[in-house]
Amino acid sequence: MEKRMSDITQWIRNELYENSDEGYKDFHSSLVPGISNILGVRVPKLREIAKRAAKGDYREFIEHVDTQVYEELMLWGMILGYAKLSAEERKKELEKFIPHINNWAICDCSCATYKFMRDFPEEWMPFIKIYLASKQEYEIRFAVVCLLDFFINETYIEQVLDLLLQVHHEGYYVKMAVAWAISVCYVKFPKKTESIFEENLLDDFTHNKSIQKIRESYRVPKESKERLQKMRRK
């Protein structure tokens, strides 16, 4: 006998359909190629729903979540950031969720809610390293985005740079995440990061994309941008 759909699951689905926007759906679909079943609910609304769900019996929703629906999958990821869980409980829940990540947006928007990593970095760095060693594109991207969101600071900068240089995966969304992370490292710690370019430690794509992202930053002086531009590879 099929399990009865929980009240919170029905409430969430009602919220999603009531807040779907056809115009936004078309726009957002163009940003996430290859992903279907997008309802067109804006991220701030999804965060609002996730926060409310996290205060209720959200486990019932997770049990019934339709991972083929973009917004339901994103809510699952967000709820794990907002729910009150112990570190061990959260790790177990993330281990279930992470293999379902199938695009950059669900990865990045979910990771942004995991502020517990900033609060307890020594607890979470070993967890991130597990996924950096994965062979799956979005599992690696999950780890890289968590590094750039929560670990680029005075304590961890050398370790973060070392870990980023150890990432070797041909996936486009891995390379883009590494380039993004290195650009953030440069903005915050330019002297520690620039040697990566001077010593040619990255593949051509990531090297050039990192420089491009740095040059797009308003926080980098013009002279630094000009110096990096000369380091671009043809």
DSSP per-residue letters across 24-53? HHHHHHHHSTT--------HHHHHHHHHHH
Coil, strand, or helix at residue 168?
coil
pLDDT confidence of residue 3: 45
DSSP assigned state of 217: -
Q: Where are the domains of the chain?
A: 1-114, 148-234
pLDDT confidence of residue 226: 97
DSSP per-residue letters across 68-80? TSHHHHHHHHHHH
Query: Secondary structure of the chain: what % helix, strand, coil (to 5)?
Result: 70, 0, 30
Rounded to an integer, what distance in angstroms lies between the CA atom of residue 157 and that of residue 168? 19
Taking CA 35 as the corner, what is the angle to CA 33 and CA 40, rounded to the nearest 5 degrees? Answer: 100
164-186 pLDDT tens trace: 999 999 999 999 999 999 999 99
The pTM of the full predicted model, rounded to 2 decimals, is: 0.95
Asked if 118 contacts 97 with a C-beta cutoff of 8 angstroms, the reply is no
pLDDT confidence of residue 5: 57
pLDDT confidence of residue 214: 98
pLDDT confidence of residue 1: 31
Give the chain's residues under pLDDT 50: 1-3
Asked if 211 contacts 227 with a C-beta cutoff of 8 angstroms, the reply is no
Of 45, 79, 74, the residue nearest 59 (C-alpha)? 79
